[in-house]
Structure 1
Amino acid sequence: MYNEPIFLKPVFKDRIWGGTKLREEFGYDIPSKTTGECWGISAHSNGPSEVVNGPLKGKTLDQVWDEHRELFADQVGEDFPLLVKILDAKTDLSVQVHPDDSYAREVEGEAFGKTECWYVIDCEPDAELVYGHHAGSKLQFEEMVADNRWNKLLRKVAIKPGDFVYVPNGTIHAIGAGTMILETQQSSDITYRVYDYDRLDDAGNTRELHIEKSIEVAMIPHQDADFEPVLSANEDLKIEKLIKENYFTVYHWNLEGSVAAVENPSYFLVSVLEGEGELKIDDQSSSAFKKGDHFIVPSTVKKFGMSGDAKFIVSHPTI
């Protein structure tokens, strides 16, 4: 039986809006001064993570999913369901929207649409997000886009470190400049751009917009999702269940000491945001973890202990 966590090597993505904070904050060896995304736990074909420890070392997560489904509670489905990223927005991301599963399959031939959520790791004092819009109908939305009335159309929301934002498919959204987030999402790379501030890429070209598809999939009028975080504790582990919805359940964990037994509901996706410590299994094996690590606790590990001083974002599929 596989009896250890699966540590993963991140994949980095250069983005027009990216910066260098992934290196400065987490010590990652980033490829450029405009590195916008760290795909920490990914089995997506556009950037699968590689296992860096144990008997599966050298395999990519999509290979492990295909060959060892017992590590994932024998979950059915052709594709690994979730993707965990850290994003460094030095400048504003484009205003965008993502489709649901049905639209993604029918129009793009992809397995999943994209519902996501964000934990704000850090941000500037005056940081904002675009979250939703003010159009009351599809016709009004189309008219405001055509007239470039972006300041009237887009809904701005102030944020601070520690905030949590749920972004179901169809939500018009954009991460603002000076913000670093951890994103838990469906394993999808489908993005429809609504507006990109008329900025130019390195070749002097504007980036492609997807106005027609955006209008087809957008939630009009906008409605905020209704959810309530739940607090609990297990010895020295403080647990905040940030959200439980159809695709994922996401937690913020704060470890200040030790916990003897954490029950594993299926398989945990774990990203270490701060600190360091040790994960213990059956009092026989232990694995050190530190800030910036990403790992999976497979379903073959029914429970585990932890010690140290660290903060995490943890998730699992809602099955």
Structure 2
Amino acid sequence: AIGAGVLLAEIQQTSDLTYRIYDWDRTDEQGKGRELHTDLALDAIDFSFHKQYLTPYQALLNSTVNAVDSPFFTTSVIHLDQPVEKDFNMIDSFVIYMCMEGTAGITYGKGEIETIKKGETILIPAELKSLALIPTEASTLLEVYIK
């Protein structure tokens, strides 16, 4: 368990490998627990702290600031206190917004609007090429898309 009050965004590339360390005491139809892979997981985990694991970025108001740019996905942070227009014509991907703080409206099409508040996530389909982010209060959004 992560813990009460923690807002977590786990953005990752796909993998065909799962090491199960704990399975919350779940059982199958015969009452048996699934296989655990504790030793394999311990061999794969790097428990040391590496300063380069930190993701520094400069928070700019009403701008999309790139935080992570991997070969597989891009994650940006947007601090809002006024509307921001977004154009997705240069990417060929869906876009995911996760509201980290505040509340914002997302307007698109012919004036349709969706509201996103802290802790909520919305998937913007790849066919939608523009929208506006309109904060109703100071807000922070994560923006994620694949490459």
The TM-score with structure 2 as length reference comes to 0.66
Q: Which of 1 and 2 has higher RCO (CA within 8 Å, sep 6+)?
A: 2
Amino acid at match of 1:298: P
Identity of aligned residues (%): 15
Residues 161-185 of structure 1, C-alpha deviations (whole Å, 9 max, x = no match): xxxxxxxxxxxxxxxxxxxx32212
Matched, 1:300 2:124: no
Letter in 1 for 2:104: G
What CA distance in whole angstroms lies between the structure 2 residues aligned with 1:298 and 1:273? Answer: 21
CA offset digits 1:90-133 (Å, max 9, x no partner): xxxxxxxxxxxxxxxxxxxxxxxxxxxxxxx5xxxxxxxxxxxx
- In 2, the alpha carbon distance for the partners of 1:228 and 1:291 equals 21
Aligned pair partner of 1:287 in 114, 117, 122: 114
How far residue 278 of structure 1 moved from its aligned partner, in angstroms, is 1.0
Within 5 Å, give how 1:258-273 maps onto structure 2: 258-259=83-84, 261-264=85-88, 265=91, 266-273=93-100
Gaps of 5+ in 1: 1-16, 26-87, 89-120, 122-180, 202-206
Kindly indicate which of the two structures has a greater share of residues assigned to strand. 1
| 1:1-40 alignment runs, 5 A limit | 17-19=1-3, 21=4, 25=5
5+ residue gaps, structure 2, are: 26-34
CA contact (8 A) 2:107 2:114 kept: yes
Q: Which has the higher helix share?
A: 1
**In the aligned structure 2, how far is the partner of 1:277 from the partner of 1:223?**
35
What secondary structure is seen at the aligned counterpart in 2 of 1:257?
Answer: coil
What is the Cα deviation at residue 282 of structure 1? 3.9
Instruction: For residue 224 of structure 1, report the CA deviation from its aligned partner.
Output: 6.2
- Residue 238 of structure 1: aligned partner: 63
**Matched residue, 1:185:** 12
| Deviation of 1:187 (Å) | 4.2
Show the counterpart of 1:148.
Answer: none
Shift of 1:231: 4.7
Alpha-carbon shift at residue 256 of structure 1 (Å): 0.8
Give the whole-Å Cα distance in 1 for the aligned partners of 2:120 and 2:98.
6
Contact 1:229/1:243, CA 8 A, preserved across alignment: no
Aligned residues: 131
User: Which aligned runs of 4 or more in structure 1 are off by greater than 6 angstroms?
Assistant: 221-224
> Please, what is the CA RMSD of the aligned residues?
3.6
* 8 Å contact from structure 1 (residues 229, 240) kept in 2: no
Q: Contact 1:279 / 1:286 at 8 angstroms: preserved in 2?
A: yes
